[in-house]
Amino acid sequence: MVNYSGYTIRTMAERCGMTAHTLRYYERVGLIQPVNRAGNGHRRYTDADECWIHFLHCMRATNMPIREMQRYAALREQGDATSLERRKILEDHQAEIARQIEELQRAHALLTHKIANYRKIEQRIRIGGPILPESEMAGNEDDCTCMLAPAS
Amino acid sequence: MVNYSGYTIRTMAERCGMTAHTLRYYERVGLIQPVNRAGNGHRRYTDADECWIHFLHCMRATNMPIREMQRYAALREQGDATSLERRKILEDHQAEIARQIEELQRAHALLTHKIANYRKIEQRIRIGGPILPESEMAGNEDDCTCMLAPAS
DNA sequence: CCTTGACTTTGAGCGCGCTCAAAGTTGTAC
DNA sequence: GTACAACTTTGAGCGCGCTCAAAGTCAAGG
């Protein structure tokens, strides 16, 4: 009977929405500090680990590159003195997130437009029957894809 | 002197915020139909091409996989009859975009929180001077990373 | 004792989306 | 005529972020 309570890698993976493979990988590349082991050598994760891993997951899910996460993790290990630098990383990432949100929102709007257009096309087909086979509109460009927000 | 007016690949790349390499690649993999050529064999893009390429760019920028874009492009070439299927693809992608926006917004909020926390840490350092070197808080877990929204 | 299953390590492999290198052609400028 | 720049094609290469295969260890159950 081996002790050291804490979460197994399997459990941890489930709790954090990632695979055990990924958890080991993150540890290998220094995103996670060497994890406590049970007597048999198996990893045992703490709540603090979970906290950190959730954070990692959140950063990855928002497209922070592994390299940047490594930089952040390394600073974190050096304690409060690196606060300013770490804050800078997070601020930059937050700005990047804002940029992504904007881009997604523009695309979302464009899609709303295009989807409405498809509904119209389907309507016309239903009315006109299977007659007019293609492109009864001006161009065969099916709609105004050109409704695109200006790049900054 | 060779004619066929239209945009060169270079110009098109600039206008659409991608590289010429990528434009050729998209054509190779069927995302773009074979483009008109000038007498010397160089590609000449039309405004309609630009329209479509902008759309492709927009979909890629919001993480639609190339495979899905290929599926969509293939349907598009078959004309209005595929409207319904194409609409489905766009609706699915729009839903995926909504999901991404939510995720990004959650991360954005988390970062606001963490950044504020770093400011506090920096404040304490400025006041306490270079004395207390590390971890004068409860744990060395620098803040409540656990403020994480519930996964659906 | 033997099987089962959950873990371990190491290094290799993979899917994606480009990105580039090499070698060739064409058109213009000097 | 020759240099240069801009394009062409083909196929290979690359960076990222996992993902997996292989071989081994250990503990519990039958």
pLDDT, tens digit, 9 for 90 and up, residues A73-82 = 999 999 999 9
Please name the amino acid found at residue B49.
Answer: D
Averaged over B27-46, what is the pLDDT?
96
Are B83 and B89 in contact, with CB atoms under 8 Å apart?
Answer: no
Cα–Cα dist A79/B134, whole Å: 6
Residue B149 pLDDT > 80: no
CATH placement of domain A1-61? 1.10.1660.10
CA nearest neighbour of B86 among A142, A134, A26, A75: A142
The domain B1-77: what is its CATH number?
Answer: 1.10.1660.10
Helix (H, G, I), strand (E, B) or coil at B117: helix
Interface test with B, best of A46, A87, A144 (most B CBs within 10 A): A87
Q: Are B82 and B75 in contact (CB under 8 A)?
A: yes
> Which DSSP symbol is given to A77?
T
Q: How large a percentage of chain A has pLDDT more than 90?
A: 78
* A69 pLDDT above the threshold of 90: yes
Question: What are the two backbone dihedrals, phi and then psi, of residue A7, each rounded to the nearest 5 degrees?
Answer: -80, 140
Indicate yes or no: CB of A121 within 8 angstroms of CB of B80: yes
Name every residue whose Cβ is closer than 8 Å to that of residue B71 and which is 6 or more positions away in sequence.
B89
- Mean pLDDT in chain B? 88
Per-residue pLDDT tens for B104-124? 999 999 999 999 999 999 998
The whole-number Å distance from A21's CA to D21's C1' is 13
Show which positions of strand C are touched by protein (CB under 7 A): 6-10, 16-20, 26-28
CA of A90 to C1' of D17 (A): 21
Q: Which residues touch strand C (CB under 7 A)?
A: A 8-11, 20, 24, 28, 37, 41-43; B 1-2, 19, 21-22, 24-25, 39-41, 60, 65-67
Reply yes or no on whether the pLDDT at A146 is more than 70.
no
What pLDDT is attached to residue B4? 65
Of B55, B62, B141, the CB nearest to A104: B62
- Tell which wins on pLDDT, B74 or B134: B74
